[in-house]
Amino acid sequence: MTPGMHRIHHSARQSETDSNYGVLFSVWDRMFNSYCESPENGYRGMTLGLEKFREKETQFFHRMLLNPIDWLHDTCPHHAARSFETGDRPRFSGFR
C-alpha cells in the first residue's frame, strides 16, 4: 500500500472514505472489496477531511487533541438535548 493509495481513505467523499483502510498491505481491502484504485476527481481534485474539521480553529494542535473527547461529549443525550435548546454546539466541560 502506497501513501497515495491510503490517502484516498481521507477523502471527503463517503465512497472513498469507506475504502483503502490498509496502511501496509492492500490485500485486506481487495479481499473485502473496499479497495479504490483512484479518486473520482483525481488526486488533485480530491477534497480531504470532514467538513466540520476544515475550519481554521479546528486545525490547532490542542483542538485536534480534544476532537475525540468533544465527539464523545456530543453523543451524550443530556448534552445533545441542551444543544437543541440553546442552538449552540456543546463544548467539553469534563466528565460527570
Residue of 24 and 72 predicted with greater confidence: 24
Q: What is the pTM of this model?
A: 0.58
Q: Are residues 8 and 38 in the same domain?
A: yes
Do residue 10 and residue 26 come from a single domain?
Answer: yes
Establish if 12 belongs to a structural domain.
yes
| Choice between 47 and 77, residue whose per-residue pLDDT is larger | 47
Determine how many CB atoms are found less than 10 A away from the CB of residue 42.
Answer: 8
- My answer on whether 64 and 81 are in the same domain is yes
Residue-number span of the structural domain to which 63 is assigned: 51-86
Residue 91 lies in a domain: no
Whether residue 77 sits in one domain with residue 55? yes
Domain count, the chain: 2
Mean pLDDT for 62-86 is: 62
Stretch (H or E) spanning 31:
helix 27-31
Task: Kindly state whether residue 14 falls inside one of the protein's structural domains.
Answer: yes
User: What pLDDT does 92 receive?
Assistant: 47
Is position 95 within any domain? no
